[in-house]
Amino acid sequence: MTAVVFFVLLLGAVPISIVLIMTSAWYVQSSGNRVLFDSFAQQLFAGIESYGLLAIPLFMLTGELMNEGGATRRLVQAARVFVGGFRGGLAYINLLANMFMAAIIGSAVSQIAVMSRAMVPAMQAEGYRKDFATATTAAGGLLAPIIPPSMLLVIYGVLAQLPIADLFIAGIIPGLMLTGGFFLVVALIGLRQQFPKGEWMTPGAAGRALLSAVPAAMIPAVIVGSIIFGIATPTESAAIASVIAFLIGALVYRDLDWSRFFAMFLRVAASSSMVIFLIAAANVFGWVVIYEALPQRLTAMIVELTRDPLVFLLIVMVILFFVGMVIDGIAALILVVPLLLPVAVEVYGIHPVQFGLVISLNLVLGLLTPPVGAGLYVAAAMTGARPTGIFLQLLPFLGVALVVLLLLCVFPVLTLALL
């Protein structure tokens, strides 16, 4: 009956956090177990009693401060210096700027929203089709769950009780592979469709663009560098980055508008509180799942199908692809980690860091895939392009992401080499 309640609420378009709490409450009430009832509020609070979760609002604040302070615009100009003269140069600039922003924002949906406003009008002005320009920008959002700092990896690290710094470092090689694959897609499509040929900046303009972007580039450098060299934890690096982003926007670029500060903090508070409340609700749900011994039942079922770790990962990929199509990536991650991680590690010997990278990228593919595809519809809302047109243009990028995902499954060294 509890499963029926869960699916009825989920298919009834009830917010996933409310679905999790109401399902858990139904189970506690129907079980008649007084111990579960007395522990309900405690488990709800325990879900967010983690220092690592502070990184989420701090990284969101850093991204907002960069957008408001002019750093995003200057990073786009710096990208133009390196790839702006190639055929389809603005598409390359879009992807390169997305790579920079993935190292700051950490949220795929937020990145797609920000970069759609910044890049799609510029690409249209140079003759690119709106649906292709939007698809290229949305594809850049696939970098967010892989290139540090990733919100999904922060949450996975908390759920799996792993060092978040290790997960961030493990995402560097897959992130570069994705970026390189997307560049190849743009090159091949550009040759076939004869994209507009860009113009290289003059040496003087290039020098000014690079010099202007140096302060902005310090922000991702501080985030990644302080984590890799052990100077700061991911949470501390997020706090440092937000302070640096504020100082650069206020004192160096002087683009920060004090009248928009309240609205900016309101956006950060609303976005981060939704994520953290979801984590609290999922902790209660996970507690019920463990109490019912569902991981053990799932283990027995999967072991009957295969004992090959690679086949197990492929089965998980198929399951998570469909899960990601109907449930938000963060919610899906919170739902599946308590179920699948013990099976992956204890039964199949898969490294938890490799497993985290695989499921994070896998789930985010659903952001750009109908019927839900939150990232797809955010991109469409930001640009006015039709979702179906965007999705068709996205298919080559999704194909590259799928190839990278398969490589991460087959070759664990791609995620573990830098650890």
pLDDT by residue for the chain (419 residues), tens digit each? 667 877 788 777 677 778 878 888 888 788 776 667 777 777 777 777 777 778 778 888 887 888 788 887 888 788 888 887 787 788 888 888 877 777 666 667 777 877 787 788 888 888 888 999 999 988 888 887 788 777 788 889 888 889 888 898 899 899 899 989 999 998 888 888 877 777 788 889 899 999 999 998 888 888 878 877 888 887 888 889 899 999 999 899 988 888 888 888 888 888 778 778 877 877 777 777 767 666 667 667 777 888 899 999 998 888 888 777 766 677 778 778 888 888 899 889 999 999 999 998 888 887 787 766 677 877 887 788 888 888 899 999 999 999 999 999 999 999 999 88
Q: In DSSP terms, which residues pair with 87 in a beta bridge?
A: 197
Domain edges within the chain: 47-256+292-416
**Residue-level pLDDT at 328:** 66
The identity of residue 346, as a single letter, is: E
Contacts of 331 (CB under 8 A, 6+ apart): 16, 17, 20, 278, 282
Q: What residues contact 70, with CB distance under 8 A and at least 6 apart?
A: 216, 249, 253, 255
H or E stretch at 69: helix 55-69
Degrees (nearest 5) of the Cα angle 75, 76, 80?
115
Q: Is the peptide bond before 371 cis (omega within 30 degrees of 0)?
A: yes
Distance of alpha carbon 314 from alpha carbon 108, whole angstroms: 24
Assess contact for 336 and 320: CB atoms under 8 A.
Answer: yes
The pLDDT, as a whole number, for residue 173 is: 92
307: left (phi over 0), alpha (psi -120 to 50) or beta: alpha
Instruction: Determine the pLDDT at residue 218.
Output: 87
- All residues at 6 or more sequence positions from 367 whose CB lies less than 8 Å from its CB, including other chains: 108, 109, 141, 324, 329, 373, 374, 375, 376
The length of the chain in residues reads 419
Which of 178, 150, 145 has the alpha carbon at shortest distance from 164? 150
The whole-angstrom separation of Cα 90 and Cα 93 is: 5
Say how many Å lie between the first and final Cα of the chain, rounded. Answer: 45
Nearest to 329 by CA among 353, 302, 360: 360
pLDDT reported for residue 243: 93
Sign of the CA dihedral running 235, 240, 242, 243 = positive
Q: Which tokens belong to 153? A: 């990896």
